[in-house]
Structure 1
């Protein structure tokens, strides 16, 4: 069961795709309100949603044909790093100019009890399906990172799963680890969506296929896939460190790291279409552009 939002004229509406692929509009204003309503009714969220749509007439159009919006206005998006072996290898390549014969701090954090966690984005910097993501102007080696996102409540409970794009500058991070915020955080450097799969409808979050495809001038130039079963850390462990002596807000998203890194010689170009697909969740599609191109087009958000 997947929750989404879509534009109806100038209003954001909440919708659901049920297990039989029918699409319904929901009267709740957003996902967090829906979860609170279910909690007040003392039933799991998925069960509560089923009761809401029991006697409703479904929409006559598929969800993908609607004008989809970012599924949740995450007040904060956090991210975990070096949680997959492929990510450790990529970070080591960046930090050593391709020399992989010496241990680095990325090896140490991969094996440490404490994970790497960092602030990735805010609601104002995060975009949804179909919206442009930005290429940082002072980076010459930039890639998307396909990640499973956890949607959390203020207590750290996982209420849903979504797809996330953690745009990253490999050259800036590789130059100096202290540059990590600049390598990760800028305008439109994060996207999430298109749907949030309710946690109580996911049998095993460690058995999800993740794919990343990038198209340039109509040709597929990157096509990678992996599985969340390759994740070294447990999801609840990542959340436990995130909330330790920290304040979480309802709707916080935690991106859990990437197992998909484009080839080392690849960097994004303006106009590239990025598709991040997670089994059972959906396909998040964004186009990469430079900030000045957005400004020229009159897009300032």
Structure 2
């Protein structure tokens, strides 16, 4: 199932158990039913949501269920959003790909951040499932990112590793092509689990490794303390113009950007590790035509 190398002691996991798909709290190696969905949990007042998670976690040893698969940690109808140019390296990388890089310079220092829609929950792929590169793109890159899980009031409920896979060639051709560069089949991976915010404290160290044919072809590291914006600021801007009664997940930008001489290829394996949150690993496939 999921990678156990760096996983936390307690987390929320969406799983398949027999014919059922349900939310659980994993405590150690045991999974106990949460009793409600993530959407319902994020609609609760913060302290009630925490008590619900802790109550289920306390029952894990005695009420553990069989887990056949760990699924993407998001409800099908929930939305995933993303922020861009929150790290200096991201700004430089997008200037490198663009025919006109000045908008990236301006948004990096602007009061208003870049925020864009990324995926619906049903389009998110889980740990171990293939992440996509567009068949009509010549330059594709994974983007390892901290995902923050926001409740219905815009407060940070938890964190999850994410991959905001992107076509750099399509975005670089014209900024108006950003939706096509960011939103396509299998362009968003999350997982394996959500770690409640009260159990971990930012900043987080992030590492990414890409393996091709059994050999490492790229390695990079960063930390969320290199972000030019705060997590609370990103959440505030998103909720200024939108409401999320079921909560939402926001990918917070990447500080690891492979150079212009690198593009993903089908068969590659991308591993994203965020200290304290877990490891997200996905093979790469070509999608579209």
Q: What TM-score do you get using the length of structure 2 for normalisation?
A: 0.88
Alignment partner, residue 79 of structure 1: 82
- Contact conserved, 2:99 with 2:174, CA < 8 A, in 1? no
CA distance in 2, matches of 1:229, 1:245: 27
Q: Is the 8 A contact 1:24 1:58 kept in 2?
A: no
Q: Which residue of 2 aligns with 1:158?
A: 156
Between the aligned partners of 1:60 and 1:248, the Cα distance in structure 2 is 32
- 1:249 and 1:290 map into 2 onto residues whose CA distance is 34
The CA distance in 2 between the partners of 1:276 and 1:10, in whole Å, is 30
Equivalent pair of 1:46/1:201 in contact (CA under 8 Å): no
Which one has a bigger Cα radius of gyration?
1
Structure 1 partner of 2:11: 2
Q: Distance in 1 between matches of 2:95 and 2:60?
A: 53
Per-residue CA distance 1:35-59 (angstroms, 9 max, x = gap) = 556x4xx835444433334355268
- 2:192 is paired with a residue whose SS is strand
Q: Corresponding residue for 1:23? A: 30
Unaligned segments of structure 1, at least 5 residues: 98-102, 294-301
Whether 1:89 aligns to 2:98 is no
Q: In the TM superposition, what is the alpha-carbon distance from 1:29 to its structure 2 partner?
A: 3.5
Aligned length: 279
Q: Which runs of 5+ in 2 are unaligned?
A: 1-9
RMSD: 2.4
Partner of 2:58: 54
Q: Secondary structure in 2 aligned to 1:16? A: strand
Q: Partner of 1:32 in structure 2?
A: 39
Partner of 1:296: none
Tell me, yes or no, if the aligned pair for 1:152 and 1:250 is still in contact at 8 Å.
no
For residues 167-218 of structure 1, give each alpha carbon's deviation from its aligned partner in whole angstroms, at most 9, with x where no partner exists: 1111111111111111111111111111101112222x2x211111111111
Deviation at 1:278, TM superposition (A): 0.9
Q: Where does residue 282 of structure 1 map in the other structure?
A: 278
Query: What secondary structure, in the 3-state scheme, does the structure 2 residue paired with 1:159 have?
Result: strand
With the length of structure 1 as denominator, give the TM-score of the two structures. Answer: 0.85
Q: Distance in 1 between matches of 2:135 and 2:264?
A: 12
Q: 1:152 to 1:56 in 2, by over 3 A?
A: closer
The answer as to 2:224 corresponding to 1:222 is no
SS at match of 1:211: strand
CA contact (8 A) 2:124 2:188 kept: yes
Match 2:70 to one of 57, 60, 68: 68
Distance 2:63 2:213 in 1: 34
Residues 1:12 and 2:21 aligned together: yes
8 A Cα contact 2:42 2:150, kept in partner: no
Aligned equivalents of 1:14, 1:90: Cα separation in 2: 37
Q: Give the Cα–Cα distance (whole angstroms) in 2 for the partners of residues 51 and 195 of structure 1.
A: 18
Offset from partner CA, 1:238-296 (integer Å, 9 cap, x none): 11111112222423111100011123211111111111111111111111112369xxx
Residue 234 of structure 2: aligned partner? 238
Does residue 251 of the first structure (1) align with residue 247 of the second (2)? yes
Question: Which residue number in structure 1 is paired with residue 7 of structure 2?
Answer: none
Q: Give 1:60 deviation, angstroms.
A: 8.3
Look up the SS of the partner of 2:137 in the other structure: coil
Alpha-carbon offset, residue 158 of structure 1: 1.4
CA distance in 1, matches of 2:223, 2:43: 31
Question: In the TM superposition, what is the alpha-carbon distance from 1:110 to its structure 2 partner?
Answer: 0.3
1:34–1:114 Cα change, 3 Å: closer
